């Protein structure tokens, strides 16, 4: 486990980057080799948000409920949909809308309590199209439609 400047210190890693240096050194990877990746911290996901006001407008019909379009540059980046908390317990189901097909199986779902708020879904690898997030909770609920598009 030698680097060009001597032995790599073995011991408790100071952080994740240091841990990867130890692991890569064990496999003979030199810090200047192409296999060594100094930026190992995952990128912060890009977030899209459905607001409480929007969801309430869709639920009651008393406010605007024009489905927003969320645009991403590619599907390899990390994209998350952040939603409002609906109450003490919140269940959210994500459906893709396909014209002429009654979708009965959600693409994703979650059940959380208030301490785990806000609810969110990973949209990174979903295909472009129309979606509906459907919430069941004591303070907020119903469908909230949105569109997902990719424009390089």
Give the Cα-Cα-Cα angle 72, 87, 119 (nearest 5 degrees): 25
Which pair of structure tokens corresponds to residue 25? 């050194």
- Cα 85 to Cα 116: distance, rounded to the nearest angstrom: 9
- Do 76 and 125 lie in a common domain? yes
Same structural domain, 65 and 29: no
- Shared domain check, 37 and 52: no
Q: Which residues of the chain have pLDDT under 50?
A: 1-42
pTM: 0.68
- How high is the pLDDT of residue 125? 84
Cβ-based neighbour number of residue 72 at 10 Å: 20
CATH number at residue 133: 2.60.40
Domain residue limits at 28: 11-41
Neighbours of 55 (CB within 10 A): 23
Per-residue pLDDT, 35 = 39
Give the pLDDT confidence score for residue 34 in this predicted structure: 39
Which two three-digit tokens encode residue 27? 């496999």
pLDDT of residue 152: 79
């Amino acid at each position: 486990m030698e680097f060009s400047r001597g032995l790599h210190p073995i011991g408790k890693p100071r952080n994740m980057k240091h841990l990867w240096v130890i692991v890569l050194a064990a496999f003979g990877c030199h810090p200047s080799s192409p296999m060594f990746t100094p930026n190992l911290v995952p990128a912060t996901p890009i977030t899209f948000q459905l607001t409480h006001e929007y969801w309430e407008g869709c639920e009651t019909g008393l406010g605007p409920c024009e489905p927003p379009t969320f645009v991403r540059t590619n599907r390899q980046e990390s994209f998350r949909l952040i939603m409002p908390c609906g109450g003490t317990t919140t269940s959210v189901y994500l459906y893709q809308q396909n014209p002429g097909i009654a979708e009965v199986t959600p693409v994703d779902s979650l059940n959380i309590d208030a301490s785990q708020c806000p609810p969110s879904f990973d949209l990174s690898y979903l295909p472009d199209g129309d979606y509906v997030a459907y919430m069941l909770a004591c303070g907020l609920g119903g469908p909230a439609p949105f569109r997902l598009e990719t424009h390089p």
